[in-house]
Amino acid sequence: MLSYNFIKKILFLFQPETAHNIAELGLRVLPNCRLLNNYMVNKNFVMNSKLSQEILGINFINPVGLAAGFDKNATMVKAMPALGFGFTEIGTMTPKAQEGNPKPRMFRYPEKKSVQNAMGFNNEGSTKVLENIKKVYPFTIPIGANIGKNKTTPEEYALNDYKTLIRKFEDTSDYLVINISSPNTPNLRDLQNEKFITELFTMAKELTSKPIFLKIAPDMEVDVAINLCKTAVDAGAAGIIATNTTIDYSLVENCQDFGGLSGACLAEKSYNLFKEIAKELYGKTILISVGGIADANEAYRRFKAGASLVQAYSGMIFEGPSMVRKINEGILELMKNDGFDNISQVIGSDLK
């Protein structure tokens, strides 16, 4: 087998978005190469009852999922078990197709194991994505559908976009995610206000019985973030996903002054906000932690802080296809050291 260090050297010769497109091509083809796919599933997909949980009626074989933005058009779902993921989140998709922001719009900082993106919800639109997802749903691992408004939709019609998308994807996803936390759609983060969130989740609850999460940005003051999360939960959100990318450009020297940073540089910021939210909401709702998770120790501290599940994206760019296996195996090792028999005992253990 080719080592990822070697593959990475080649991929990193390309612009990050081109490298992503090459990886996408490979992952679209992979499930058709039965032998290789089976080999990778057997190697990377950690199946151990100590890691499995039922959450909101959904069965998660392991607690490490793919974060939104990698599989925007639901073209790679079938390859995710080969990368070890216990669940996947497609999107963000918008009602109508859109091209996103001008290129280049993705940047890597290898020395910081960090990424910056200003993609702007480039996606093929809800009709095409729905066609793609219908071909695989229901799948062996849970699928979340992450939804966002079109760039051209004015704020006063934003609710309509979310309504359309919930209706469209509720039958072909295990959970939905409302994304109003991307820094790359002008004024989108302005929707992170209590009035809009109350209207949104009240409407959403009437539309569907599927669990709907709110994904939040890491750049809010702690008390503002906590209030927003509480408002969402009170209005019917099934849980919170924290966090999206950050616009704190002080985290990486000489980075671009637009877009959102993710990966290692985000870990501390994301953890700190997550921890504060969990102090208020652990036990009252389901919490998913994302941002800078690339190894077992980082994932484990999120579980201890109150996360039921974790997600990762940027880390995979630097660590490769064995990352999720190593995280899951490492979690099992850490659980053994701490005397935990099931991941559910780890969740929130710092708070007890």
Residue with tokens 């790359």: 184
Per the annotation, the verdict on 182 as an active-site residue is yes
**Rule CB under 6 A: is residue 146 a binding residue for ligand FMN?**
yes
**Rule CB under 6 A: is residue 153 a binding residue for ligand FMN?**
no
**Rule CB under 6 A: is residue 293 a binding residue for ligand FMN?**
yes
**Rule CB under 6 A: is residue 197 a binding residue for ligand FMN?**
no
Segment interacting with ligand FMN, rule: CB under 6 A, options 42-50, 163-171, 306-314, 324-332: 306-314
Segment interacting with ligand FMN, rule: CB under 6 A, options 46-54, 64-72, 130-138, 271-279: 64-72
Binding track over 311-340 against ligand FMN, x by CB under 6 A: -xxxx-------------------------
Q: Which is nearer to ligand FMN, 309 or 340 (CB)?
A: 309
Q: Which is nearer to ligand FMN, 95 or 292 (CB)?
A: 292
Q: Which of 114, 126, 173, 182 is the catalytic position?
A: 182
**Rule CB under 6 A: is residue 61 a binding residue for ligand FMN?**
no
Output the smallest distance, CB 242 to ligand FMN, in A: 9
Segment interacting with ligand FMN, rule: CB under 6 A, options 62-70, 150-158, 192-200, 206-214: 62-70
Q: Which is nearer to ligand FMN, 50 or 161 (CB)?
A: 161
SS (H, E, C) the chain: CCCHHHHHHHHCCCCHHHHHHHHHHHHHHHHHCHHHHHHHHHHHCCCCHHHCEEECCEEECCCEEECCCCCCCCCCHHHHHHHCCCEEEEEEECCCCECCCCCCCEEEEHHHCEEEECCCCCECCHHHHHHHHHCCCCCCCCEEEEECCCCCCCHHHHHHHHHHHHHHHHHHCCEEEEECCCCCCCCHHHHCCHHHHHHHHHHHHHHCCCCEEEEECCCCCHHHHHHHHHHHHHCCCCEEEECCCECCHHHCCCCCCCCEEEEHHHHHHHHHHHHHHHHHHECCEEEEEECCCCCHHHHHHHHHHCCCEEEECHHHHHHCCCHHHHHHHHHHHHHHHHCCCCHHHHCCHHHC
**Rule CB under 6 A: is residue 106 a binding residue for ligand FMN?**
yes
Q: What span, in angstroms and rounded, lies between the C-alpha atoms of 131 and 109?
A: 35
Q: Which is nearer to ligand FMN, 173 or 244 (CB)?
A: 244
Q: What span, in angstroms and rounded, lies between the C-alpha atoms of 87 and 310?
A: 10
**Rule CB under 6 A: is residue 183 a binding residue for ligand FMN?**
no
Segment interacting with ligand FMN, rule: CB under 6 A, options 49-57, 96-104, 114-122, 128-136: 114-122
Q: Which is nearer to ligand FMN, 80 or 340 (CB)?
A: 80
Q: Which is nearer to ligand FMN, 204 or 312 (CB)?
A: 312
Contact indicator for 216, 179 with CB cutoff of 8 Å? no
Residues in contact with ligand FMN by the rule CB under 6 A:
67-69, 72, 91-92, 106, 115, 117, 119, 121, 146, 179, 182, 215, 244-245, 262-263, 266, 290-293, 312-315
Residues with catalytic function? 182
